[in-house]
Amino acid sequence: FPVEITEEACAERGVAVDMEGFKVAMEEQRAQSQAAQGTVDLTVGNVLAEVADQLGGQATEFLGYSSLTSAAKVAAIVGSDGPVETAAAGSTVQIVLDRTPFYAESGGQVGDRGVLAAGG
C-alpha cells in the first residue's frame, strides 16, 4: 500500500504521518529481507515433491474460491524426514489433504490459517 495514499488520507483527517519513522522502518525491513535471501530450507519442498510422486502427482483440489469449509481425506502425513503413518501428540507434521479451502503459501504470499478437525 503506497505510503503517499496513507499520507493523503491522514492529512484529510488532520493526522500526521511520521515519514522519517516510516523510512527507518522500511530500511530495517529491506535489511531483514536481504539477510533472509538464500536461507530458505528447501528440504520440506523436496519431501513434499516425493510425497506428490507417491500420490501419483495428484494435486490437492483447491476449494477456496467457492467455500470456506470442506470435508476432506488425509492423503499423507509428512514429518521432517518424509511421509509417516502416524504422528504423536505435540509433534510437528504437515498434512496433505485431497481437497481444501486453504490457500497454500506460495510465491511469497502467506498461506491461509484455519482449523483442521477430525470427526468422531
Residue written as cell 505510503? 3
For the beta carbon of residue 8, count every other beta carbon within 10 angstroms: 11
List the grid coordinates of 48.
Answer: 513434499
- 48 with 32, same domain: the answer is no
List the grid coordinates of 93.
Answer: 507434521
For residue 74, is it within any domain? yes
Rg (CA), the chain: 21
- 52 with 77, same domain: the answer is yes
For residue 10, is it within any domain? yes
Q: So what's the pLDDT on residue 32? A: 75
- 90 with 69, same domain: the answer is yes
List the grid coordinates of 16.
Answer: 500526521
Beta strands 61-62 and 99-100: pairing type? parallel
Q: So what's the pLDDT on residue 44? A: 53
Q: So what's the pLDDT on residue 39? A: 47
In tens, the pLDDT along 58-114 reads: 778 888 888 889 899 988 888 887 888 999 888 888 888 888 888 877 666 777 888
Q: So what's the pLDDT on residue 107? A: 67
Q: So what's the pLDDT on residue 46? A: 67
For residue 91, is it within any domain? yes
For residue 117, is it within any domain? no
In tens, the pLDDT along 3-50 reads: 888 888 999 999 999 989 988 988 888 777 766 555 444 445 567 777
Q: So what's the pLDDT on residue 13? A: 94
Domain that holds residue 58: 43-100
Q: So what's the pLDDT on residue 18? A: 92
List the grid coordinates of 113.
Answer: 490459517
For residue 118, is it within any domain? no
Nearest 5°: CA angle at 78, between 76 and 84? 80
